[in-house]
Amino acid sequence: MPERFVLATFNLENLDDRPAPEASLESRVAALRPQVERLDADVLCLQEVNGQPRGGPAPRRFAALDVLLEGTPLAGFHRAVTESPSGGAMDKHNLVVLSRWPIVEQRQVWHELVPAPHAAMTTAAPPEEALQPVTWDRPLLAVTVELPGGRLLHVLNLHLRAPLAAFVPGQKTGQFAWASVAGWAEGFALAAMKRNGQALEARLWVEKLFDAEGDVDGPLVAVCGDFNAEATEVPTRILRGDVEDTGSGALAARALVPVDMTVPPDRRYTVIHAGRRNLLDHLLVSRPLLRWFRGAEIHNEGLGDELVAYATVDRSPESYHAPVVARFELPGGQSNA
C-alpha cells in the first residue's frame, strides 16, 4: 500500500507568552491551533517560535509552543529545534521541525559552509575603517527523517533575513527611522547580503546531499520556510538552481522544484502587504521527491493585510503568514536508506 504523508511550513510570527501590549498566549492559541491542526501534517516546519526564560541562569524553553500543541497529535511528535550558542532556545525566532516519524539526524547550519563576509561600514558614524563581519541573523535547521520503509527525507527549515535595512552604527534615529538616505541604503544592501548569503549556505547544504547520494536516484530533499523573497528574487533562484540559470542541462537533476507554484495563481500568496499579495513562504523539493508529489495548498482564506493590521488592530493574535502544505504518496516496499 502507498504511504501518504503531508509536509507543511508555517511562520507563526513571534509565538510567545509575553503579557500586554502583545496579544495574550490564550488568544494566540485560539487563533493558531485550528490552523495548525488543519494542516494535518506529518512533518511540520515552524518559524518564529520564541523561547521563554525558566528563571535564573537556566536555558530558555519552548513553553508557548508546548501550550499551542497541547491536546493535538503534534504534541507527541519528534522535535528538532535551533539553539543559542550558549545552549537552550534563543529568545526570538527559533526554527522548529516536528515529525511523526523518528528524526535520525539534526544539525543547525550557521556559517558552517559559508564564512561570514566582511564589509566596511562606509556611512557609520563615527567612521569605521576596519572590515566588519556580516553574519546571518539565525541558523538553518537541517533534519533527516526516517520515513516508513526506511526512506530518508532531508528537510531544511529556514527563515531568511527580511528586506529591512540592517543596523549601521550612528545611522538610526528610531526603530524604523534613519538619519540619512545613505545610511539606510547601506543597511538595505547589508540586509540583501545576509539574505543572499544564507540562501547560498542552504544551497551548498543541498549540494552536499547530492554529492553523497548521487544524481540518478538522488536524495529526497525538501527546503521550506520563510524566504522573505518572491519566486523570481535572488535568494529563491539561488535555492532553486534552475537550469535556465546554471545554463547546463547536466545539472538539471539538482534543481529544486517549487511545488507551491502548482497552486492556482489567484491563491498563490502567503502574505498581503499594503494590498499586494506576495509569495514569500515556499516549499521546494528535489526531483526524486517530486515524483511522489500529489498536490499543494496555501491556507490563505482568512489572511489579513499585515500593514493595515499593524496600524489598526489592537493586539492581533493572528499570524500574517499563510501556511504552505504539500501532499506526497510514497510507493510501498522501497527504500533509499
Q: Which three cell numbers stand for residue 132?
A: 566588519
DSSP track, 164-220? SPPP-TT-BSSSS-BS-HHHHHHHHHHHHHHHHHHHHHHHHHHHHHHHHHTTTT--E
Instruction: Return the pLDDT at 230.
Output: 97
* 293, amino acid identity: F
Beta carbons of 117 and 193 less than 8 angstroms apart: yes
Residue entry with cell 540562501: 199
Confidence of residue 2 (pLDDT cuts 50, 70, 90): low
Residue 149 and residue 135 in contact, taking contact as beta carbons nearer than 8 Å? no
DSSP string, 3-29: EEEEEEEEEEEEE----TTSPPHHHHH
Q: Give the Cα separation of 268 and 292 in Å (integer).
A: 21
Amino acid 36: pLDDT: 98
Percent of the chain residues topping a pLDDT of 90: 84
The pLDDT score that the predictor gives to residue 335 is 42
Give the Cα separation of 20 and 40 in Å (integer): 31
Query: Distance between CA atoms of 113 and 15, rounded to whole angstroms?
Result: 29
Q: Quick check: 274 pLDDT over 80?
A: yes
pLDDT of residue 1: 59
Cis peptide before 2 (omega within 30 of 0): no
Assess whether pLDDT exceeds 50 at residue 38: yes
- Residue ranges per structural domain of the chain: 3-103+143-161+199-330
Tell me the mean pLDDT in the region 246-260: 97
At residue 333, the pLDDT reads 46
Does the pLDDT at position 11 exceed 90? yes
131: its cell numbers? 572590515
120, pLDDT greater than 80:
yes
Question: What pLDDT, on a 0 to 100 scale, did the predictor assign at position 87?
Answer: 84
Q: Return the ∠ at Cα 260 (arms to 258 and 264), rounded to 5°.
A: 130
Say whether pLDDT at 73 is over 70. Answer: yes
Q: What is the pLDDT of residue 337?
A: 40
Mean pLDDT of the chain: 94
Decide if pLDDT at 325 tops 80: yes
pLDDT, tens digit (0-9, with 9 covering 90-100), for 169-208: 999 999 999 999 999 999 999 999 999 999 999 999 999 9
* Better pLDDT: 326 or 53: 326
Q: For the segment 225-241, what is each residue's pLDDT rounded down to a tens digit?
A: 999 999 999 999 999 99
pLDDT digits (tens, 9 = 90+) for 57-71: 788 999 999 999 999
Q: Please compute the mean of the pLDDT values over residues 5-20 and round it to a whole number.
A: 92
Q: How far apart are CA 148 and CA 335, in angstroms?
A: 9
Q: Decide which of 3.40.50.10490, 3.60.10.10, 3.30.465.10, 3.40.50.300 is the CATH code for 3-103+143-161+199-330.
A: 3.60.10.10
Q: How confident is the model over 159-167, as a mean pLDDT?
A: 96
Angle among Cα 180, 184, 189 to the nearest 5 degrees reads 145
CA distance 134 to 152: 34
Average confidence (pLDDT) over 21-26? 88
Distance CA 129, CA 121 (A): 8
| Residues near 101 by beta carbon (within 8 Å), at least 6 away in sequence | 42, 43, 78, 145, 146, 147, 148
